[in-house]
Amino acid sequence: MGWLLQSFPTQAELAERFRQRVHQGRLILVGAHDPLAGLLARKAGFDALYLSGAAFSASMGLPDVGVLTLEEVVARARALVRATGLPVLVDADTGFGELFNVVRLGRELVEAGVAAVQLEDQEMPKRCGHLSGKRLVPPAVMVQKVRALKQCFPSLVLVARTDARESEGVDGVIARARLYVEAGADIIFPEALQSREEFQQVRHALPVPLLANLTEFGKTPPLSADDLFTLGYEIVLFPVSALRVAAKAMEEFYAHLRQQGSTREYLGRMQTRAELYELIGYAAYEEFDHLLARSSGEQLVGHSE
């Protein structure tokens, strides 16, 4: 059924579902940069989603350098939650400012039904976690943000990401993570680790749930989810993979169409009209339309495509 016609879980319910799923372990978390991608991920069987700042920025034609606004991210997160009814972890970069900006962020995300938020310890403007030249805030600054979010919005699951690997090494990652956990972080995200041994070192040092990022073309080697689950990581993240696949497919299709002037050769590679309508719950809207039409004599849903 389409989201316009259904009821939704509360934010607290979605957050609890996310906590339970993390506790169960072996959670593959997939990036969904818009609601249609989220519906496709749900259809494939994924039970939680990730709104990646890098993927969302790219979908807007922008680089991942912290130029998205709080309002844009919250609006996309709200659309993703209500379209899918799934717990969503939102990449909120550095929190869009200082302490009260972070508190505003928490309020907006909770009201949008978001289950979990990710904060990182870079300075503004941030850089992609797998690029060089990142600058970090002092640990105390991140600690203050974590503490404020957890005190004001205890139902919001907080993932604390540290980008310390480049400038402070794995020991710096662990030292910062311990401070963030003490401040109330629920999950630690050690970004851009560079070997299986580094992942293992962090796992042995921290007694909290850990998230491993397996983004492609970055500093982390191409391990599998099972590799990380075997090391004891509860969550493995593929943040931009679906966007990359979709973008490559569109690039190839547009080139073909420009050259051939026909889509016939692509019909077997397309989602059909029936498949799209099933995905977005079109039948429920038609049924609702017909129900109202019988009482008012007017049809609300058009058929003009």
Asked whether the whole model's pTM tops 0.75, one would answer: yes
Dihedral in degrees, nearest 10, Cα atoms 29, 32, 33, 36? -170
DSSP structure string for 277-301: HHHHTHHHHHHHHHHHHHHHS---S
CA distance 89 to 156: 10
Which of 140, 197, 137 has its CA nearest to residue 164? 137
Cis ω for the linkage preceding 63 (within 30 of 0): no
Is there a contact between 75 and 83 (Cβ–Cβ < 8 Å)? no
Q: Are the beta carbons of 36 and 3 closer than 8 angstroms?
A: no
- Indicate the CATH number for domain 7-239: 3.20.20.60
Domain coordinates of the chain in residue numbers? Answer: 7-239, 248-296
Q: In angstroms, rounded to a whole number, what is the distance separating the alpha carbons of residues 119 and 96?
A: 10
Residues in the chain: 305
pLDDT of the chain, 305 residues: tens digit per residue: 577 777 889 999 999 999 999 999 999 999 999 999 999 999 999 999 999 999 999 999 999 988 999 999 999 999 999 999 999 999 999 999 999 999 999 999 999 999 999 999 999 877 776 767 789 999 999 999 999 999 999 999 999 999 999 999 999 999 999 999 999 999 999 999 999 999 999 999 999 999 999 999 999 999 999 999 999 999 999 999 999 999 999 999 999 999 999 999 999 999 999 999 999 998 888 888 788 777 765 555 555 55
